[in-house]
């Protein structure tokens, strides 16, 4: 499914990030989550987890799903975090600021494990180390 990705803060994301708990299980439970509306959730086959991929197809990340009334069909939300930023569009339109709101992504059901924040750094960003 093609969608526009919105990212932003949630209160618990803020609480955990500011409290220095980015490597906690709670942080992953709060942030490694893709919010979708019921309609899109059904269309995706009610998956427990989805793989979100950036427009260029280069970067993708597996996250859990959460059904919510707060987003409309065709739009998804991931709390501001490393998971979201893996797929945020890096182009800044000559403003310095990436497209944290409204990045085009594709969303599909997956069985991949949801990595924790440290694993993302080690595996995706730092190679095999």
Partner 1 sequence: MVYKNIICPVCGGSCDDVQVELKDGTIDVQNACKMGNAKFQEVVSSHRLLKPTIRENGKVKDVSWDEALEMSADILANSKRPLFFLGSETSCEAQEVGLHIAEYLGGVADSNATICHGPTVMGIQEAGCVGSTAGQAKNRADMIIYWGVNALESMPRHMSKYGVFPRGYWAKKGRFDRTMVTVDPRKTPTAVASDLHLQLKPNTDYELLSALFTILNGKEPHPSVEEITGIPIPVMKQTIEMMKESNYVGIFVGLGVSSSYGKHRNIEIALNLVKEMNNYTKCNLGALRGHCNVAGFNQLASYLYGYPFGIDFGKGYPRYNPGETTCVDVLREKDVDAAFVMSADLVNHIPADAAKYLADIPMICLDIAPCPSTTASDVVLPGVIDAMECDGTFYRLDNVPVHFEPFTDSPFPETKSNEDTLKQLFAKVKAKKEA
The contact mask relative to partner 1 for 78-97 (x = CB under 8 A, - = no) is --xxx--xxxxxxxxxxxxx
Residue with tokens 């919010």: 35
CB of 36 to partner 1, least distance (A): 12
Q: What is the β-pairing status of strands 101-109 and 2-8?
A: antiparallel
Is 73 one of the binding residues for partner 1 (CB under 8 A)? no
Other CB atoms within a 10 A radius of the CB of residue 10 amount to 16
Phi, psi (deg, nearest 5) at residue 26: -60, -40
Does position 63 interact with partner 1 (CB under 8 A)? The reply is no
Which CB, 33 or 45, lies closer to partner 1? 33
Judged by CB under 8 A, the number of residues near partner 1 is: 56
- Residue 57 makes contact with partner 1 by CB under 8 A: no
Which residue among 18, 25, 45, 57 contacts partner 1 (CB under 8 A)? 18
Q: Give the C-alpha distances (Å, rounded to integers) separating 90 from 57, 76, 86, 93, 95.
A: 13, 18, 9, 9, 11
Contacts to partner 1 by CB under 8 A = 4, 6, 8-12, 14-23, 54, 58-59, 69-72, 75, 77, 80-82, 85-102, 117-118, 120-122, 124-126, 129
């Amino acid at each position: 499914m093609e969608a526009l990705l919105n990212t932003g803060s949630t209160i618990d994301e803020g609480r955990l990030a500011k409290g220095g708990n980015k490597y906690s299980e709670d942080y992953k439970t709060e942030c490694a989550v893709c919010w979708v509306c019921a309609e899109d959730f059904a269309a995706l086959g009610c998956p427990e987890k989805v793989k979100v991929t950036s427009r260029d197809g280069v970067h993708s990340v597996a996250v859990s799903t959460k059904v919510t009334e707060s987003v409309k069909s065709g739009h998804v939300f991931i709390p501001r975090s490393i998971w979201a930023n893996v797929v945020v569009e890096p182009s800044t339109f000559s403003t310095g600021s990436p497209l944290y709101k409204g990045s085009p992504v594709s969303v599909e059901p997956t069985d991949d494990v949801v990595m924790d924040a440290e694993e993302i750094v080690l595996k995706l960003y730092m190679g095999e180390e």
